[in-house]
Amino acid sequence: MGGDKDKEEIRKQIEELREKIRYHNYRYYVLNEPEISDAEYDRLFKELEELEAEYPEFITPDSPTQRVGAKPLEEFRTYRHSIPMLSLKSVTDAGEVTEFDERVKRMLGVDTIEYVVEPKIDGLAMELVYKDGVLVAGSTRGDGWTGEDVTQNLRTIKTIPLRTLSEALPLLEVRGEVYMPVSGFRELNEELGRRGERMFANPRNAAAGSVRQLDPRVTASRPLDFFAYGIGRVEGREFSTQWEILNYLRSIGFRVSELVRLFDKIEDVIRYHREVEERRDELDYEIDGIVVKVNRVEYQNRLGTISRSPRWAIAYKFQPREEFTKVKDIVVQVGRTGALTPVAILEPVQIGGVTVSRATLHNEEELKRKDVRIGDTVVVERAGDVIPEVVSVVKSRRTGAEKEFRMPDRCPVCGAEVLKEGPIRRCVGVSCKAQLKERLKHFASTRAMDIEGLGEKLIEQLVDRGMVTDVADLYLLSRMKGELMKLEHMGERSTEKLLDAIERSKQTTFARLIYALGIRHVGEHTALLLAANFRDMDDLRNATYERLVSIPEIGPEVARSIILFFEQGSTKELLRKLEEVGVRYENPEAAEAGAEAEKEKPLAGKIFVFTGRISIPRDEAKRKVEQLGGRVTSSVTKKTDYVVAGEEAGSKLRRAQQLGVKIIGEEEFMAMVKEG
């Protein structure tokens, strides 16, 4: 009996934790008004995970810990909607909206009508089915009658509750839109680009591709969100208005757009349409219009539907952001990090009140995938402050006179060779003017040449005024003290401090200088490896591919990047100038220490990951590990040897527990590195 009583107490404790976590999820993800810190939330979540691991018989599908965990599917099952998910008739001008209002009043025989106005989110329509408050199914709109069952993917979206708050109706079908925030879309595409993977064309395309993943873990890794806007079948409650429905959905844990409004005059609806269109670029989600709905459910039922659309609602669209035009030419633009981007030069076209004459083609892979040629008729899209892009080619309009475009093998700005990295080509020219500001910022950074006072704004001025044309020119600024003092925020004292810092940086280490040069794929750790295996810059410049790849941790891609860097005439010229202006280095990691000495170090080959707060700076902890032959990485994998867990350790600690990686505290770590 005692054991059963104890287990009942545990079950209650688990359910109380779940309720707390659901409540704080609602405060954080839906209301955007958190009441506790991230650390406190992590502690609650960790406590729940540990209890469920110890008592797996109490795990339920609606537990916050069960958002991800289902196995990948082989294919999606179909799902039949109990009430069809209808599409809306679209209108584009105020006259058509007025006609809609007049028609509704005439059919109902009334003089005034209340309308609920909602933003038309550019995402994917979804239906969520809740039984007794628990999410049991989720499906796409499909053809309106039948969609795809994507339940396990929708469970990963944090703004979709696994259990409703406060009230559990026997049946509730919630309808809404899954979308990807614009900020999340940009970050995702940047990450895909870095990995050399195909990027998405727009946030809607990204949301669709993410929801329709057979592996829910992929969906969980994507920044998806959800807005609720209506209901299907309901048991256990009746609603008299759309406004009441939206407020109810918000109260039981769903996110409803902050742009929803209630009006009793169609003139106010039209005015609000203009207001929202002006504000659309301020939003972190794409909208292409507003949805106008008759508020009273009784009126909706009387008006009914026609074909596949309700008579009681319309989509009042914004001005189009897409137009057709011709590609006059394709040129290549070099970015601040050396990335070569193909850009279409267009016959000027008006899109959303702005004249567009250039559009990005992103990268070589996208150029080939879309098969854009000089002379093509194309669809161009412009969205807010996002650079206009070529969406697609109208191939039916081709005449045969169109010309294919090939990406160059040399930088169009400086003539240096181009390194191919997945879909991106990148200039390796060390003095390329397109990359100069970024290279100067890196060269002067604390971990490189450590030039205090050389910040981003000063770099902008030095480059824009032509005072610096490569990093070696920094050491000639002492001859321009008068000009320096005339720059913004540069008085006599700050100028002298800057020049002193530049002078001090002339004495450095070989590893720092290698890192400061900004060789592609050569970070601090690789720079240390190179310094330990090569006597000086001449020795490194003459390194063969075979010698480079023989060094542990230097692979083929890094070796090719180093060789290509030193083959450039601009690199040879820069190194000559740096030596001429007095940059000198010592090499404490010299090759005499050799690979054998490295192997003899007590932490040779060991990989560490830090999580949480420890009493010494992370940089110092990393240095101690590296001095003893170990490595520090940012993520926990099966290859990790130690996870050092400090105060308020987070997800990395949980990952280490899952993988069985050894976890140590700060005290044990300090004992291991006391020799450093």
In the structure, how many helices (H) and strands (E) does the chain have?
Answer: 25, 26
Q: Do residues 192 and 201 lie in contact, with contact meaning Cβ atoms separated by under 8 Å?
A: no
Q: Is 309 exposed, middle or buried (0-12, 13-18, 19+ CB in 10 A)?
A: middle
Q: Is residue 7 annotated as a catalytic residue, yes or no? A: no
Q: Which residues contact 51 (CB under 8 A, 6 or more apart)?
A: 10, 13, 14, 17, 58
Instruction: Say how far apart CA 390 and CA 342 lie, in whole Å.
Output: 11
Would the CA dihedral through 472, 474, 478, 484 be positive or negative? positive
The crossing angle, in degrees rounded to 10, of helices 556-567 and 569-580 is 70
Instruction: Say how far apart CA 120 and CA 302 lie, in whole Å.
Output: 24
**Strand spans (E) along 570-671:** 584-586, 607-611, 631-632, 642-645, 662-664
What's the DSSP call for residue 72? Answer: P
Q: Are strands 642-645 and 607-611 parallel, antiparallel or unpaired?
A: parallel
Chain centroid to Cα 219, Å, comes to: 14
Instruction: Say how far apart CA 518 and CA 426 lie, in whole Å.
Output: 13
5, 20, 105, 120: the active-site residue: 120
CA torsion 336→338→344→348, rounded to 10°?
20
What's the DSSP call for residue 158? Answer: T
Instruction: Say how far apart CA 434 and CA 567 lie, in whole Å.
Output: 20
Chain centroid to Cα 172, Å, comes to: 33
Q: Tokens for 447?
A: 């971990």
Would the CA dihedral through 584, 588, 590, 592 be positive or negative? positive
Q: Do residues 308 and 298 lie in contact, with contact meaning Cβ atoms separated by under 8 Å?
A: no
* Sole residue written with tokens 């530049």: 502
Q: Is 30 helix (H, G, I), strand (E, B) or coil?
A: helix
Q: Is 533 exposed, middle or buried (0-12, 13-18, 19+ CB in 10 A)?
A: buried
232-257 burial: b if 16+ Cβ within 10 Å, else e: bebeeeeeebbbebbebbbebbbbbb
Q: Is 61 helix (H, G, I), strand (E, B) or coil?
A: coil
Q: Do residues 498 and 467 lie in contact, with contact meaning Cβ atoms separated by under 8 Å?
A: no
Which residues partner with 231 through β-bridges?
A: 174
Query: How is the beta sheet containing 134-140 ordered, strand by strand?
Result: 134-140, 124-131, 171-179, 225-235
First to last CA, the chain: 57
Q: Tokens for 675?
A: 């020799």
Show which residues are catalytic: 120
